[in-house]
Amino acid sequence: MSTVPEYFGSLVFDDRVMRSTLPADVYASLRKTIDEGRELDIGVANAVAQAMKDWAVSHGATHFTHWFQPLTGITAEKHDSFISPSPDGSVIMEFSGKELIKGEPDASSFPSGGLRATFEARGYTAWDPTSYAFIKDKSLCIPTAFCSYGGPALDKKTPLLRSMEVLSKEALRILRLFGNNTAKRVVSSVGPEQEYFLITKEMYDKRPDLRFTGRTLFGAKPPKGQELDDHYFGVIKPGVQAYMADLNDELWKLGILAKTEHNEVAPAQHELAPIYTTTNIATDHNQLTMEIMQKVAAKHGLVCLLHEKPFAGVNGSGKHNNWSIATDSGQNLLSPGATPYENAQFLLFLCAVIKAVDDYQDLLRLSVATAGNDHRLGANEAPPAVISIFVGDELNAVLEAIEKDIPYEGTKKTQMKLGVDVLPKFNRDTTDRNRTSPFAFTGNKFEFRMLGSSNSIACANIMLNAAVAESLRIYADRLEKAEDFETALHEMIRKTIRDHKRIIFNGNGYDDAWIREATEERGLLNYRTTADCMPHLLDEKNVKMLTSLGVFTIEEMRSRRDIMLENYCKSVVIEANTMVDMARTQIIPAIEAFAADTARSVAAKKAVAAELPCRYETGLVRTLTGLIDEIAGKTDELEAALLTVGGAADIVEESALIRDILLQAMGELRVPCDKAEMLTAKSYWPYPTYSDLLFGVK
Ligand code: ADP
Ligand code: MG
């Protein structure tokens, strides 16, 4: 068996392969395209395509596909084979530069939110050379952007690339003001920590709710849940260990830097974190990781659940988006430096983030909004739906000192005047409180913790990159005109702290008192559900910021709002229909069978000895029969709610009805069903219980 360094990235057409297979001039020209965004000419594309094809074929590939990320949230691919007929009846393997650069999938059934009706029916895919091509299932996968003819983006990659571009541009303006004339690009990077559940395929197959919706819609609380905290970082079970080892191998071959893995808080819950990379590659890699996690699970007789809340009453799964920005030479702009000047620069970038998060709380909130994630946010297991920033006590003291122009009482008394003082070394705060913060500074990066486990990280990073670019643009506009740079800089940092300190909160985010303070005293937004936040994508300030930076067009924003709301509505409606079906065709009949058998046994016993009281059994039959009536009634009510939702005039109204009526009716149907589960003999119950599911993997 070969060693990890030998097979790491073996299925990736990465820099090593490019350098060794491409003619020197072609390699140099491709590198310029990758590093500096230069346009690629067709001659170079042809040479790259040829080398890519030869390499892919030598690794067993027979097909190629433009791999893209439509707005469904998952990835899409359309496979074409390399084969081309030859006059002598044989075939040759062919792949041209044109095929590499552009594809035309028949994409008419991907969601476009009306865009394709307004523009052109067809969409096309365009090669993104900044993310390496790779081989998956005998296909050469070429990461691509997906647009409609006439321009509008139909995917998540296009606006992400635009947001990276504009962030780089504005950050460079700031760096020039600090005398940095060498940086060519500023790159945003992310390390996403991915949580997931593993259950056995055998159990999964018996639950229509898991199969159709990714989460359990019924299920009584297990006698043992996560109360003992004995799973978190606990010993990994052999079956899970084997899965993780296999998963790492597959990810490593694809050049994905899977680094840490451990058990999470809930039973059967685990986490995988890669080493960070650019937001673009990290997004592609995270999508691939989620796909490979599910594929590898299938090989082990397991199912990997990526839903945010597979089990009620058990911690759900999130994804922590560790984000920072660095220059092309590797200087992390969110890392406090060693010199006063570097520190002033650090504080300015820090302020840009603080301002961005405060000004665009709504965009960050809606970038993580899905029906699934609504179950987590604010449920005391994940950050609240209110956005705030944790900076830690030390940095907080520094910011206060600057704001009030008072001495900083840190390790030693130092007057905080920018450009003069050395900042103290900040300790990475590892206290528990910071785990409750939606957006925490962790020493040299921010950790955005509101993402759901199934979210594409593209959306969050588009908004984050864009909002920070907007702060930097405002700063650069002012500073470039300033007569005295240092004074202007100092004033601007002070002003940012004064204007935006309401977003800084270092306390316990799970505390109800915080939600009151945040909303009533600080005026922070609290959009509890997808239906609440999504319409705000189109608020004037958001449209202005995102369109003026060129991250989205107004048409793209409108279509995205509609698609996100459609996804929300469809997910919940499918859940409701699944509940109706399960209740009528399996749950009621199961309770009925058990109640009837119990009644028969009462009759049989009484036939033997009429004086037998059979108190328990008789009571049970009564209770179960009552529950059947209740379940039938609640099922009818849920169906009625579905009809009401179906009558909505538009998608915004539909989402509001789902929030106000449908979810309520679903909750009410669940209660008697879960009660019945606890009273019904296990052999009659049609589904594996929560205990079976959560403790089934050996
Ligand atoms: P935690 O205590 O939250 O698990 P880790 O140090 O393990 O923190 O890092 C979590 C993630 O943060 C990893 O994916 C890591 O690669 C990423 N990370 C570390 N430094 C940076 C950075 N400068 N930019 C982006 N992500 C980073
Ligand atoms: Mg973390």
Residue whose token pair is 């840190």: 410
Three-state DSSP at 205 gives helix
Q: Which residues of 125-134 are buried (b: 16+ CB within 10 A; e: fewer)?
A: bbbbbbbbbb
Q: Which ligand has an atom closest to residue 190 CA?
A: 1
Both tokens of 660, joined, read: 């106000």
The DSSP result for 413-431, as a single string, is: EEE--TTTPPPPPPPPP--
**For residue range 34-43, what is the model confidence (pLDDT) as tens digits?**
887 777 888 9
Successive 10-residue mean pLDDT values, the chain, 698 residues: 88 95 94 83 92 95 92 83 88 90 74 62 82 95 86 89 96 96 96 96 98 98 71 81 95 92 85 96 97 97 97 94 97 84 88 98 97 90 92 87 75 46 53 80 94 97 98 98 92 95 93 94 96 98 98 95 96 98 98 98 96 95 98 98 97 98 98 97 97 92
Residue whose token pair is 């009571």: 619
pLDDT at position 266 is 83
pLDDT at position 420 is 41
Q: Which ligand has an atom closest to residue 282 CA?
A: 1
Taking a C-beta distance cutoff of 8 angstroms, is the pair 53, 64 a contact?
A: yes
Both tokens of 150, joined, read: 């006439």
Ligand 2 centroid – CA 697 distance (Å)? 25
Q: Is 277 in the pocket of ligand 1 (CB under 6 A)?
A: no
Ligand 1 centroid – CA 505 distance (Å)? 21
Taking a C-beta distance cutoff of 8 angstroms, is the pair 304, 294 a contact?
A: yes
pLDDT at position 104 is 78
Q: Is 187 in the pocket of ligand 1 (CB under 6 A)?
A: no
Q: Which residues contact 126 (CB under 8 A, 6 or more apart)?
A: 101, 102, 144, 145, 146, 147
Strand extents, DSSP E, 538-579: none
For the chain, the 3-state helix, strand and coil shares in percent, each to the nearest 5, are 50, 15, 35
Taking a C-beta distance cutoff of 8 angstroms, is the pair 464, 364 a contact?
A: yes
**Closest ligand 1 atom to the C-alpha of 322?**
26
Q: Which ligand has an atom closest to residue 445 CA?
A: 1
- Taking the whole predicted model, whether its pTM rises above 0.75 is answered as yes
pLDDT at position 30 is 92
Ligand 2 centroid – CA 626 distance (Å)? 47
Both tokens of 177, joined, read: 């003001």
Which amino acid residue places its CA nearest to atom 11 of ligand 1?
191
pLDDT at position 227 is 65
Ligand 2 centroid – CA 72 distance (Å)? 27
**Closest ligand 1 atom to the C-alpha of 274?**
14
Q: Is 324 in the pocket of ligand 1 (CB under 6 A)?
A: yes
**Closest ligand 1 atom to the C-alpha of 324?**
24
Terminus-to-terminus CA distance in the chain, angstroms? 27
Which amino acid residue places its CA nearest to atom 1 of ligand 1?
193
Q: Is 262 in the pocket of ligand 1 (CB under 6 A)?
A: no
Closest among 638, 651, 647 to 569, alpha carbons compared? 651
Residue whose token pair is 């700063």: 475
Taking a C-beta distance cutoff of 8 angstroms, is the pair 257, 274 a contact?
A: yes
| CA pair distance 69, 550, nearest whole angstrom | 20
